């Protein structure tokens, strides 16, 4: 893990989810788990808006469940899906306007031995955080992390800035596992990363709308 890395500023996330998704590629999420810190460099993300995005958890308005997604930017939105998995999102846009970016996949940059002990079924390092549920599981994220401030240096989950990637280094395509607005190309990934998840069309159990 790069000890010189700095926390990503909240202002860099208070932007449209598509732009925030671009910015998050190459950034690192660090989580202080019970057995030590785990760090994952983001290589795949997925953007969701609010009232104008039928695939968004906020499409039908504000609820206790999606309240964090309404801002301010820089907070973690964690939800439980299908009674099986947690998924994690970075809130963006301005306070009172819903928007978030789902964290879909990453490359482990911390101790691989610890990472494999947390994800013993992974056969290769590239599989440790491939997919949103695996990524959240590896980072030890659960319901108690919903609303964590990723821009606070004292937070148990932090978002470290990476150098912005030039457009030629990432690709885009349809979102995964959503029944509505599935063809919108708001899934973005780092070209050539082995940790990027396999694309499957919407409606499958392993993912869900934000």
Q: Using CA atoms, how far apart are residues 209 and 202, in angstroms rounded to an integer?
A: 9
Q: How many C-beta atoms surround the C-beta of residue 27 within 10 A? A: 25
Is residue 122, in this structure, part of any structural domain at all? Answer: yes
pLDDT band at 177 (very low <50, low <70, confident <90, very high): confident
pLDDT reported for residue 148: 97
* Count of structural domains, the chain: 1
Domain region containing 84? 10-182
Q: What is the pLDDT of residues 7-43, one digit of tens each?
A: 999 999 999 999 999 999 999 999 998 889 999 999 9
Is residue 193, in this structure, part of any structural domain at all? Answer: no
Is residue 204, in this structure, part of any structural domain at all? Answer: no
Give me the residue label for tokens 């148990």: 156
> Cβ-count burial of 103 within 10 angstroms (0-12 exposed, 13-18 middle, 19+ buried)?
buried
Q: What is the pLDDT of residues 33-84, one digit of tens each?
A: 888 999 999 999 999 998 899 999 988 889 998 999 999 999 999 999 877 8
> What's the chain's Rg over C-alpha atoms?
15
Is residue 26, in this structure, part of any structural domain at all? Answer: yes
Is residue 90, in this structure, part of any structural domain at all? Answer: yes
pLDDT band at 2 (very low <50, low <70, confident <90, very high): very low
The pTM assigned to this predicted structure is 0.91
Q: What is the CATH number of the domain that holds 108?
A: 3.10.300.10
Residue 155 scores a pLDDT above 80: yes
Is residue 75, in this structure, part of any structural domain at all? Answer: yes
> Cβ-count burial of 29 within 10 angstroms (0-12 exposed, 13-18 middle, 19+ buried)?
buried
């Amino acid at each position: 893990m790069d000890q010189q890395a700095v926390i990503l500023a909240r202002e860099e996330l208070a932007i449209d989810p598509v732009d925030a998704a671009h910015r998050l590629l190459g950034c690192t999420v660090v989580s202080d788990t019970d057995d030590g810190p785990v760090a994952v460099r983001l290589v795949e993300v997925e953007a969701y808006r609010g009232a104008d995005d039928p695939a968004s958890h906020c499409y039908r308005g504000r609820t206790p469940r999606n309240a964090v997604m309404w801002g301010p930017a820089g907070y973690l939105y964690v939800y439980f899906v299908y009674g099986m998995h947690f998924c994690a999102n970075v809130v963006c846009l301005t306070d009172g306007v819903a928007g978030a970016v789902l964290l879909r996949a990453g490359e482990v940059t911390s101790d691989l031995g610890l990472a494999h002990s947390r994800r013993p079924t992974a056969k290769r390092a590239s599989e440790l955080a491939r997919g949103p549920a695996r990524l959240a599981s590896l980072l030890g994220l659960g319901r108690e992390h919903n609303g964590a401030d990723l821009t606070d240096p004292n937070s148990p989950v932090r978002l470290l800035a990476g150098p912005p990637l030039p457009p030629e280094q990432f690709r885009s395509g349809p979102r995964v596992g959503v029944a509505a607005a599935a063809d919108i190309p708001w899934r973005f990934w780092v070209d050539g990363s082995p940790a990027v998840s396999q694309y499957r069309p919407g409606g499958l159990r392993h993912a869900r709308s934000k």
